[in-house]
């Protein structure tokens, strides 16, 4: 029997072994679970460990290998640690991830090692002494000194030209790669895919320009690019071109910007860092290297601007425009334009008309930005905090685990044939990806011109979706003769939950359309499936969700289509209201706001009426673009 | 003990042991001397490594805290010494000594302090400076 099964498996594998739709760049077994119509894989591409200065400064001792153990479902220890270095708290994912990338900060990689290791020169330096004696002060001083300076430099203990710190960083960079290799499942089981990566941490004047750099396979840069030595995004892209893509050694790479919401409008601009206008070549280079953007994570939602035009944009919003302002207590400054992804997508259409190339062809994903080495820990009732912000976790996660405006972050979802590096990386490159705010919602989105209205009931939905158009992340093909407006086929399935994970049904699907008109971008949101009024009866005491839909589907035709206007369309799938993390935390500690004297000081925020107690979790697909034919 | 010596003694003990709030983004309750230590550490880093990033703002924050808390200690010590001035030197020394001893004992026996820049969330006097 076992032999028959093995033969059948070999036949099945053989059926796709010779005709892979993606390029295999590494040596590995094909995955037993293979689907030419692609499957959704859930992961996290933004993970920090003790190799990141800000994580270590907050007491995190878990290393990249711990992060990968956590991603595949094992328990790991977190702070606080006892005198012997044993963790006194444990965390564990309810549902393992399919993929993960440790992305420690490339900046301060060596400095972190030097300040920890008495054997390294520089351990006794003034800065390292201050860091060890006053960790939180050291965190504020060193992070600010390096990351938020317009002209970053290395500390004097790094030696001539910073060579000492770069040398000290080679060890952790090697270990990051070795850990990714050790935990990458190259067997046919394909349990976990890991990616080598790092975070370029540029934050000039406190304006966030961070990028996560993800390598396709085991071939990576000899040393990760740093903001200190390479202080502009253009410099980062040049480095990736020359040290990876142009190295002709099999290296391939993408950069994923995040937290445009605290970039002060500098993440998405029509100019280069030196103020010169973007050229078509600039736009093409950026679009080639930056195919995805992280739309949600611990430090807020970056999708769209809260306001009257789209009430669902008022979701996990930070009120400050600069990363540096997070530490402040003063009134929030007005938010500048182009700090949100939807605005960037619109600006991209306008620039595309002007330049002939759209620099902001961005697919959407979510991730966490965990500094506890805890990828994918996104369940609202399990939130343990960002662990690198203004709330200290050195002595253990407090009962109210973070600032009220932070959140557990989200997940990246990739549609790929199998769970391998090449298949997933190509999904990232073609933007067949979406983000969720945490739940494992499944979403398909196809764009075409001739989808039948009854496609939703068709068992061959995906096959016909691919055959008749393009999936999320693609460009609408030219309209066939006689075609009117584009049709979008969107299907969503609720998070099934399981393993104790809270889950809620769906409320509705929306299509978000943006288009360019007279040199300006416009946007409109359409409810296309579901009932916006459903789910209003959330019980905050028990966090039991109200009824909703298990799945939703619709073939939608754009009623306002203008064939002369370039446009993008993406789907937003919204759950019914469910408890936000603070409600879970406050309920767990039996906070009774009716008797304020009984509320412990560390849980006082539980009774702050300004903090929302429920949310509508969601998924955002990558857009599908429409470009008018040239006359 | 002279009135002047009494004032200095009270000032030193107040600065060493009375917890003052740390305002701004960091929070906590620490003695004036700790505020001075934070200022000194930041100043040393600024002198040696420069003032890139938020170093000057942090330095200013600690300078304000150090000056304000030392001024409050000085005021309290001056008022205390003035109140004790009519007493005999021996009585003055006894009362001032008892007050200081009680304050130091409480600071050692109880975790009066929250140390946002230290290695433990709450601490007694030794924990703050240990």
Separation CA A142–CA A228 (nearest Å): 13
Q: Does B24 touch chain A (CB under 8 A)?
A: yes
Q: Does B26 touch chain A (CB under 8 A)?
A: yes
Q: Is the peptide bond prior to A338 cis by the omega test (within 30 degrees of 0)?
A: no
Size of interface A-B (CB pairs under 8 A): 74
Which residues of chain A lie closer than 8 angstroms to B26, CB-CB? 136, 140
Backbone angles phi, psi at A571, to 5 degrees: -100, 140
Residues A502 and A381: beta-carbon distance below 8 Å: yes
Average pLDDT over every residue of A235-254: 98
Condensed to tens digits (0 to 9), the pLDDT of residues B12-60 reads 999 999 999 988 777 789 999 999 999 999 999 999 998 887 889 899 9
Interface of B with A in 97-126 (CB under 8 A): 116-121
Condensed to tens digits (0 to 9), the pLDDT of residues A321-332 reads 988 888 765 556
Which residues are registered as beta bridge partners of A214? Answer: A197, A254
Which residues of chain A lie closer than 8 angstroms to B53, CB-CB? 141, 143-149
Q: Name the residue of chain B whose CA is nearest to A133's CA.
A: B118
Q: Tokens for A508, please give them.
A: 């509705």
Average pLDDT over every residue of A460-486: 95
Q: How far is B16 from chain A (nearest CA, A)?
A: 18
Q: Name the residue of chain A whose CA is nearest to B130's CA.
A: A133
Q: Does B42 touch chain A (CB under 8 A)?
A: yes
Task: Please state, for a pLDDT cut of 70, what percent of chain A lies above it.
Answer: 96
Measured between alpha carbons, how far is residue A367 from residues A210, A226, A397 in Å? 14, 22, 21
Q: Does A90 touch chain B (CB under 8 A)?
A: no
Residue of B22, B27, B117, B121 best to disrupt the A interface, most CBs of A under 10 A? B117
Which residues of chain A lie closer than 8 angstroms to B49, CB-CB? 126-127, 145, 155-156
Separation CA A276–CA A113 (nearest Å): 38
Residues A264 and A336: beta-carbon distance below 8 Å: yes
Say whether pLDDT at A14 is over 60.
Answer: no
Average pLDDT over every residue of A260-277: 96
Separation CA B64–CA B35 (nearest Å): 9
Separation CA A61–CA A394 (nearest Å): 10
Q: Helix (H, G, I), strand (E, B), or coil: what is residue A586?
A: helix
Looking at residue A18, what is its pLDDT? 61
Interface of A with B in 299-328 (CB under 8 A): 324, 327-328
The torsion region of residue A267 among left (phi > 0), alpha (psi -120 to 50) and beta comes to: alpha
Say whether pLDDT at A626 is over 90.
Answer: yes
Which residues of chain B lie closer than 8 angstroms to A146, CB-CB? 53
Residue A584: in which H helix or E strand, if any?
helix A581-588
Question: SS3 string of A413-469?
Answer: EEEECCCCHHHHHHHHHHCCEEEECCCCCEEEEEEECCCCCCHHHCCCHHHHHHHHE
Looking at residue B31, what is its pLDDT? 95
Chain centroid to Cα A281, Å, comes to: 27
Looking at residue A481, what is its pLDDT? 84
Q: Does B54 touch chain A (CB under 8 A)?
A: yes
Residue A3: band (very low, low, confident or very high) from pLDDT cuts 50, 70, 90: very low
Q: Is beta strand A39-47 parallel, antiparallel or unpaired with respect to A99-102?
A: parallel
Q: Do B49 and A155 touch (CB under 8 A)?
A: yes
Looking at residue A62, what is its pLDDT? 97
Q: Do A133 and B41 touch (CB under 8 A)?
A: yes
**Segment among A7-11, A139-143, A315-319 with least mean pLDDT:** A7-11
pLDDT, mean over chain A: 93
Measured between alpha carbons, how far is residue A315 from residues A197, A302, A613, B82 in Å? 29, 9, 12, 59
Condensed to tens digits (0 to 9), the pLDDT of residues B89-124 reads 999 999 999 999 999 999 999 999 987 766 667 888
**A119: burial class by Cβ within 10 Å (0-12, 13-18, 19+)?**
exposed
**A275: burial class by Cβ within 10 Å (0-12, 13-18, 19+)?**
exposed
Q: Which residue has the tokens 């920090």?
A: A48
The domain spans of chain B are 3-129
Q: Helix (H, G, I), strand (E, B), or coil: what is residue A284?
A: helix
Indicate the Cα dihedral angle A349, A351, A353, A356, nearest 10°: -110
CB atoms within 10 A of CB A262: 25
Average pLDDT over every residue of A533-549: 92
Q: How far is A122 from chain B (nearest CA, A)?
A: 14
Q: Does B60 touch chain A (CB under 8 A)?
A: no
Separation CA A523–CA A512 (nearest Å): 7
Condensed to tens digits (0 to 9), the pLDDT of residues A94-104 reads 999 999 999 99
> What does pTM read for this prediction?
0.93
Q: How far is B84 from chain A (nearest CA, A)?
A: 38
DSSP 8-state class, residue A627 = -
Residue of B53, B54, B60, B66 best to disrupt the A interface, most CBs of A under 10 A? B53
Say whether pLDDT at A1 is over 70.
Answer: no
> Cα angle at A287 between A285 and A290, to 5 degrees?
100
Q: Name the residue of chain B whose CA is nearest to A154's CA.
A: B49
Q: Tokens for B47, please give them.
A: 């002198």
Q: Is beta strand A363-366 parallel, antiparallel or unpaired with respect to A292-297?
A: parallel
Residue B104: in which H helix or E strand, if any?
helix B89-109
Q: Within 13 A of A101's CA, how many CA atoms are on the CB side?
A: 27
Q: How far is A203 from chain B (nearest CA, A)?
A: 10
The stretches of A18-87 forming alpha helices (DSSP H) are 53-57, 64-71
Q: How far is B76 from chain A (nearest CA, A)?
A: 29
Q: Do B53 and A149 touch (CB under 8 A)?
A: yes
Condensed to tens digits (0 to 9), the pLDDT of residues A549-575 reads 999 999 999 999 999 999 999 999 999
Q: How far is B20 from chain A (nearest CA, A)?
A: 18
Residue of A53, A125, A136, A228 best to disrupt the B interface, most CBs of B under 10 A? A136
Q: How far is A326 from chain B (nearest CA, A)?
A: 9
Looking at residue A12, what is its pLDDT? 40
Say whether pLDDT at A619 is over 70.
Answer: yes
Q: Does B47 touch chain A (CB under 8 A)?
A: no
Q: Do A149 and B52 touch (CB under 8 A)?
A: yes
Average pLDDT over every residue of A208-226: 98
Q: Do B118 and A134 touch (CB under 8 A)?
A: yes
Q: Tokens for A357, please give them.
A: 């190339």
Question: SS3 string of A118-142?
Answer: CCCCCCCCHHHHHHHHCHHHHHHHH
Separation CA A571–CA A166 (nearest Å): 44
Looking at residue A135, what is its pLDDT? 82
Measured between alpha carbons, how far is residue B107 from residues A17, A269, A562, B116, B125 in Å? 73, 55, 75, 17, 5
Q: Do B120 and A324 touch (CB under 8 A)?
A: no
Which residues of chain A lie closer than 8 angstroms to B52, CB-CB? 144-145, 149, 151-153
Backbone angles phi, psi at A145, to 5 degrees: -60, -40
Q: Do B26 and A140 touch (CB under 8 A)?
A: yes
């Amino acid at each position: 029997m076992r032999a028959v099964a093995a033969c059948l498996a070999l036949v099945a594998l053989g059926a796709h072994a010779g005709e892979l739709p993606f390029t295999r760049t590494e040596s590995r077994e094909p995955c037993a679970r293979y689907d030419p119509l692609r499957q959704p894989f859930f992961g996290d591409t933004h993970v920090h460990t003790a190799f990141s200065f800000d994580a270590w400064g907050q007491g995190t001792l878990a290393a990249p290998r711990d992060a990968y153990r956590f991603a595949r479902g094992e328990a790991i220890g977190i702070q606080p640690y006892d005198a012997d270095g044993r963790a006194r708290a444990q965390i564990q994912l309810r549902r393992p991830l399919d993929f993960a990338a440790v992305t420690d900060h490339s900046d301060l990689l060596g400095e972190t090692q030097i300040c920890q290791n008495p054997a390294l020169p520089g351990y006794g330096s003034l800065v390292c002494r201050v860091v060890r004696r006053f960790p939180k002060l050291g965190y504020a001083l060193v992070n600010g000194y390096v990351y938020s300076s317009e002209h970053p430099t290395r500390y004097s203990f790094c030696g001539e030209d910073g060579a000492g710190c770069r040398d000290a960083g080679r060890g952790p960079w090697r270990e990051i790669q070795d850990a990714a290799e050790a935990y990458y499942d190259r067997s046919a089981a394909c349990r976990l895919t890991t990616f080598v990566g790092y975070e370029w941490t540029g934050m000039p004047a406190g304006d966030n320009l961070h990028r996560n750099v993800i390598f396709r396979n085991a071939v990576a840069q000899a040393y990760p690019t740093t903001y200190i030595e390479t202080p502009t995004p253009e410099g980062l892209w040049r480095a990736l071109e020359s040290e990876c893509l142009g190295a002709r050694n099999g290296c391939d790479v993408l950069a994923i910007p995040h937290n445009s919401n605290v970039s002060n409008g500098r993440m998405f601009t029509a100019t280069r860092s030196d103020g010169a206008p973007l050229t078509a070549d600039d736009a093409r280079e950026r679009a080639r290297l930056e195919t995805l953007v992280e739309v949600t994570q611990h430090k807020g939602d970056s999708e769209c601007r809260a306001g009257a035009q789209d009430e669902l944009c008022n979701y996990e919003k930070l009120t400050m425009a600069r990363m540096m302002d997070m530490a402040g207590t003063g009134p929030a400054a007005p938010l500048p334009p182009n700090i949100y992804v939807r605005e960037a997508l619109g600006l991209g259409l306008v620039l595309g008309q002007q330049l002939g190339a759209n620099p902001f062809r961005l697919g959407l994903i979510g991730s966490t930005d965990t500094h506890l080495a805890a990828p994918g820990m996104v369940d609202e009732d399990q939130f343990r905090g960002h662990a690198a912000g203004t709330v200290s976790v050195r002595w253990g996660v407090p009962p109210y685990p973070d600032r009220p405006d932070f959140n557990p972050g989200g997940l990246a979802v990739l549609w790929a044939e199998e769970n391998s590096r090449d298949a997933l990386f190509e999904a990232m490159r073609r933007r067949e990806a979406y983000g969720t705010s945490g739940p494992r919602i499944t979403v398909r989105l196809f764009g075409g011109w001739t989808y039948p209205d009854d496609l939703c009931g068709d068992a061959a939905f995906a096959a016909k979706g691919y055959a008749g158009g393009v999936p999320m992340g693609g460009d609408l093909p030219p309209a066939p003769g006689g075609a009117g407006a584009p049709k979008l086929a969107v299907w969503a399935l609720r998070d099934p939950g399981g393993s104790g994970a809270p889950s809620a049904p769906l409320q509705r699907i929306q299509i978000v359309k943006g288009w360019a008109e007279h040199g300006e971008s416009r946007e409109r949101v359409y409810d296309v499936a579901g009932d916006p009024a459903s789910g209003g009866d959330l019980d905050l005491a028990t966090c039991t969700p109200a009824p909703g839909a298990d799945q939703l589907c619709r073939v939608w035709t754009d009623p306002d289509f203008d064939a002369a206007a370039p446009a993008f369309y993406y789907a937003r799938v919204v759950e019914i209201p469910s408890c936000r993390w603070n409600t879970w935390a406050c309920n767990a500690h039996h906070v009774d706001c009716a008797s304020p004297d009984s509320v412990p000081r560390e849980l006082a925020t539980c009774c702050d009426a300004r903090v929302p107690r429920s949310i509508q979790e969601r998924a955002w697909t990558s857009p599908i673009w429409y470009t008018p034919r040239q006359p | 003990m002279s009135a002047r010596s009494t004032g200095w003694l009270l000032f030193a003990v107040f600065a060493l042991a009375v917890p003052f709030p740390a305002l701004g983004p960091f929070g906590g309750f620490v003695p004036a001397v700790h505020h001075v230590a934070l200022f000194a550490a930041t100043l040393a880093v600024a002198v040696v490594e420069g003032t890139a990033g938020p170093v000057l703002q942090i330095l200013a924050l600690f300078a304000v805290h150090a000056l304000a808390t030392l001024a409050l200690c000085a005021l309290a010590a001056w008022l205390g010494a003035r109140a004790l001035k009519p007493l005999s030197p021996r009585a003055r020394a006894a009362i001032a000594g008892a007050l200081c001893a009680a304050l130091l004992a409480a600071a050692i026996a109880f975790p009066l302090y929250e140390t946002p820049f230290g290695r433990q969330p709450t601490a007694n006097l030794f924990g703050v400076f240990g």
